[in-house]
Amino acid sequence: MSVTPALELSGINKSFGSKTVLKDVSMRIGQNEVVGLIGENGAGKSTLLKLLAGLHQQDSGGLRIHGIDRQLRNASHAAELGIGVVHQEQSLLTNLSVAENIHLGGAKNRNKDAGSSLGFLNWKTINAQATKSLRRIGLDMDPRAMIADLTFAQRQMVEIAKAVEVGEHAHALPIVILDEPTSVLEPSEIKRLAGEIQRLREIGSVIFVSHRLEEVLEFTDRIYVLRHGKVVAERETKSVNEEELFALMTGRQSVRVREDLQDFAEADTVLEVKNLSTAGGLDEITLTLKAGQLHSLVGATSSGCEEVVRAIFGVERITSGSIKIAGHPVDKLTVRERIRRGMAYLPSERKSEGIVSGMSVTENMALAHLDATHGRGLRRRNLEVQLSNMWMDRLDIRPRDGQAAIAELSGGNQQKVALAKWLCDPNLKLLLLDRPFRGLDPGAIESVKEAVRQACHGGVAVLTIADTLEEALELADDITVLKDGAVTASINVLAERPSVVDILGKMV
Amino acid sequence: MVQTPTIARTPQALRIRTKPAAISLSRLMPAIVLVILVAAITVVEPQFIGGGGIRIMLVQCLPLLFLACGQMLVMLLGGIDLSNAAMGVLAAVLVASWLGPLGWLAPVLTLLVVAAIGSLSGWLSGYFQVPTFAVTLGAMGVWQAAALLISDQTTVSINQNLEIIGWVLDVRFLGLEAGVWLGALVVAGIWFMTNRTSLGQELKAVGLNERTAILSGISNLKTRTLVHCASGFLAGLAGLILTAQQGTATATGAGVGLLLPSIAAAIIGGCAVAGGISRPVNVAFGACIVTLVPIGAAAIGIDPRIQYVVFGLIIVLAVAASIDRSSRTPLY
């Protein structure tokens, strides 16, 4: 290619202490090109992104931006050179308007800031500039809208506009880095994002980081695969398929075989939900789960799936209806009493609801069943250690160190700990999972799926909210489709063999 | 379930210890600051160590120690108790007025009353989801007023039965007053409770992440009520000691100004305002430091009018030295 690439990395090395995170990484991102970057958790993706965002500095190796050798000093230096990052965790200030947020990102990076003079803000200019930035990526949005009032997807679009604005002021074509942008988007929103990425391609370059292989295949021109800190493959998107990428990324072959479906007519009933309604909008939900059965709830964002699961667990107040576990009514019981009856709930918000950062792996595992490792209210360390060693081995939690602070584990391993917290209960009857695979890398997803299947084989009933329809079809024995808080379809996979299109029809 | 754990031989590579289990310097800081302070005073006033200065300091700091321990437990859950000094004063007034008529029942009843009113604050904040700051701010005013009413705005003097509570400062074991041993017992008990019991794990979990704790079946209403109950009970002990020290009690006397020192002692001891940390031994050192600073300043001959300046500076320095920043890692 005769044109200068927008970004060139050559032989980048980076280590933290004795741990090498990036080994001799070389990449080239052309102008007007969308490049995918994939890898499992811990493969070095985030370190590489932080390097490009100016938040870390490489130990050795070169970085050329628009053909000039650069050493990024800090985040604002990276921004000055036209690199804009849309982080996985959103960084907008929710109490400010769209325009204020976009202005904040750009303001620091220009010598002359048109939006303010002598420290006074010129709202007209700020709003006009924001409108311009939004238009560039095809967004028609009121710049005065408060971020707090926007949906997650809309906020992300503002983030993209902000990242483009950053490049704008560098007087160079912007290089926009999208870190896991699709992990919490709805199908329609993902479609919209696809359109935005197309527009970004016209005005600059994009690095698209994702776990979701099908999206990487759809959105990108070229793909780099990172494994253990090394670039193990570079592929033209047209020339690869999902299986090959999965194999390159994890170093093993993908296993996606649906085991033989069973008939659960004879099995014991574990959960019986009848005409459940809540103030939050659930309308007469009825569900039955048998021992060993995996039941998937599917629906769009505000369809009420999460409320169903939370109401069953007792953290969403119900207005009418009944919930029975193994024949006993539980709807008057506290969360603790429900846990004693064999209920378990793995929330989708892992960091804020699934784990306690600041506690160790062992302490987290013991948390929901303190009686099991405590005798008469006193901790028994040897029991705690035995329990955590056993589950660290069963779920392959790394590192194998019960004393490690859970905050230092990767997302996938944190999720395994959050799951072990419930699986360790020998009396477990009903496992409620809210999008358990969200944000995990394919390797961790396989381990969690395997653990869930094993629980089913052991007679546990599992009610899970599926992130995608494919996921529901791959795992579930029964599928219930929700829309606006009401059941629109109940599908027995064994009897009906539904397709994705069948289910999609009931969702919208 | 856990009788025969299958601890498979794990490959060496997996056995990565993420952190050496060393005691960080910040955890030793309160002790170091205290030693430096004692040394500095001893240089100026050599008889401080020889003349029983340490013992006097330990007795002096007892009310503060109890209040700071209660404050620490409330802070462990991420709350704050602004009413603890007011409850202490109320307890002092109550026990002083009851000792005559009720005899040995007076201290028992007093402790029960303040434990109950402390629990009330905790329960209100937990049940109505009101920040402890707001609830205890209101409670502070109420219990101050109650103490004023009960004492009829005068000094309550004790004509008989003072020995029922006075013995803690008169009887000595191994050279130290019984009250000091009581303080040590309370600190040890709290340490054991927070580190070795299920309740301790529950408190820690609620303090670090209330949502996860609730979803793990831990009741935040129960834990919140319990820590405020403990704070009330410990404020009651502080009140008993105050009355025993002075032989009288007033609603406006000693103890009223102990709220901020109790917070200072807890923070010097390494407690985080955000919750999740309890270090009773370090809080005890913190209480000693807060008590020693004015004593030391007077010994050195610092003008009483600028003593508060010195006090403020030393508190800030001690906090800066001992506060745990490990949970405050920067964003990147």
- CA–CA dist A41, A413 (Å, integer): 9
- B217 in contact with A, Cβ within 8 Å: yes
- CA–CA dist A82, A173 (Å, integer): 7
Number of H helices, E strands in chain B: 15, 4
* Within-domain flag for B34: no
CB contact under 8 A, B201 and A370: yes
* Within-domain flag for B8: no
* Within-domain flag for B177: yes
CB contact under 8 A, A335 and B205: no
Kindly state the average pLDDT of the residues A113-132: 75
- A74 in contact with B, Cβ within 8 Å: no
| Domain membership of residue B153 as a residue range | 51-321
* Within-domain flag for B252: yes
- A401 in contact with B, Cβ within 8 Å: yes
* Distance in Å, alpha carbon of B136 to nearest chain A alpha carbon: 27
Task: Note if the pTM is more than 0.80.
Answer: no
* Distance in Å, alpha carbon of B134 to nearest chain A alpha carbon: 24
Q: Closest-CA residue in chain A for B19?
A: A404
Q: Do residues A19 and A34 touch, judged by C-beta distance below 8 A?
A: no
- A377 in contact with B, Cβ within 8 Å: yes
For A394-406, give the secondary structure using H, E and C.
Answer: HCCCCCCCCCCEH
- CATH label of the domain that carries residue B232: 1.10.3470
Quick one: pLDDT at residue A165?
77
Q: Is the per-residue pLDDT at A1 higher than 50?
A: no
Fold of A7-96+151-250: Rossmann fold (3.40.50)
Summarised one tens digit per residue, pLDDT across range A399-450 is 888 998 898 888 889 999 999 999 999 999 999 999 999 888 888 888 899 9
Residues in chain A: 508
* Within-domain flag for B21: no
CB contact under 8 A, B209 and A421: no
Q: Which two tokens stand for residue B181?
A: 């041993």
pLDDT-derived band at B17 (thresholds 50, 70, 90) equals: very low
Comparing CB atoms, the residue among B2, B8, B19 nearest residue A387 is: B2
Q: Which residues of A touch B16 (CB under 8 A)?
A: 399, 401
Quick one: pLDDT at residue B131?
93
Comparing CB atoms, the residue among A359, A390, A408 nearest residue B5 is: A390
Summarised one tens digit per residue, pLDDT across range A266-315 is 889 999 999 999 988 888 999 999 999 999 998 877 788 999 999 999 99
Q: Which residues of B touch A371 (CB under 8 A)?
A: 198
For chain A positions 10-29, those within 8 Å of chain B (CB to CB) are: none
What lies within 8 Å, CB to CB, of A234 at 6+ separation is A27, A222, A223, A224, A225
CB contact under 8 A, A374 and B198: yes
Quick one: pLDDT at residue A20?
82
What b/e string do you get for A242-272 counting C-beta neighbours within 10 Å, with b at 16 or more? eeebbebbbeeebeeeeeeeeebeeeebbbb
Kindly state the average pLDDT of the residues B1-17: 37
Q: Do residues A155 and A147 touch, judged by C-beta distance below 8 A?
A: yes
Instruction: Count how many domains chain B has.
Output: 1
Domain A255-342+428-508 indexed as CATH 3.40.50.300: yes
- A334 in contact with B, Cβ within 8 Å: yes
For chain A positions 336-365, those within 8 Å of chain B (CB to CB) are: 336, 338-340, 345, 347, 349, 352-359, 363
* Distance in Å, alpha carbon of A176 to nearest chain B alpha carbon: 19
* Within-domain flag for B19: no
Summarised one tens digit per residue, pLDDT across range A324-357 is 999 999 989 999 999 999 999 999 888 889 999 8
Q: Is the per-residue pLDDT at B313 higher than 70?
A: yes
Kindly state the average pLDDT of the residues A481-505: 80
Q: Which residues of B touch A377 (CB under 8 A)?
A: 197-199
Kindly state the average pLDDT of the residues B274-289: 92
CB contact under 8 A, A368 and B200: no
Q: Do residues A362 and A402 touch, judged by C-beta distance below 8 A?
A: yes
CB contact under 8 A, B215 and A315: yes
CB contact under 8 A, A371 and B1: no
Comparing CB atoms, the residue among B19, B196, B217 nearest residue A335 is: B217
* Within-domain flag for B9: no
Summarised one tens digit per residue, pLDDT across range B232-261 is 999 999 999 999 998 888 888 777 889 999
Comparing CB atoms, the residue among B16, B216, B276 nearest residue A399 is: B16
CATH 3.40.50.300 domain span(s) along chain A = 7-96+151-250, 255-342+428-508
* Distance in Å, alpha carbon of A357 to nearest chain B alpha carbon: 7
Quick one: pLDDT at residue A376?
80
Summarised one tens digit per residue, pLDDT across range A245-278 is 878 887 765 444 455 677 887 889 999 999 999 9
- CA–CA dist B164, B114 (Å, integer): 19
CB contact under 8 A, A353 and B15: no
Q: Do residues A339 and A284 touch, judged by C-beta distance below 8 A?
A: no
Kindly state the average pLDDT of the residues A355-375: 89
CA A441, B209, A405: angle at the middle one, nearest 5?
55
Provide, rounded to the nearest whole percent, the portion of chain A with pLDDT above 70: 91
* Distance in Å, alpha carbon of A214 to nearest chain B alpha carbon: 30
Summarised one tens digit per residue, pLDDT across range B287-300 is 999 998 887 777 77
Mutate to test the interface with B, among A316, A367, A393, A432 (most CBs of B within 10 A): A367
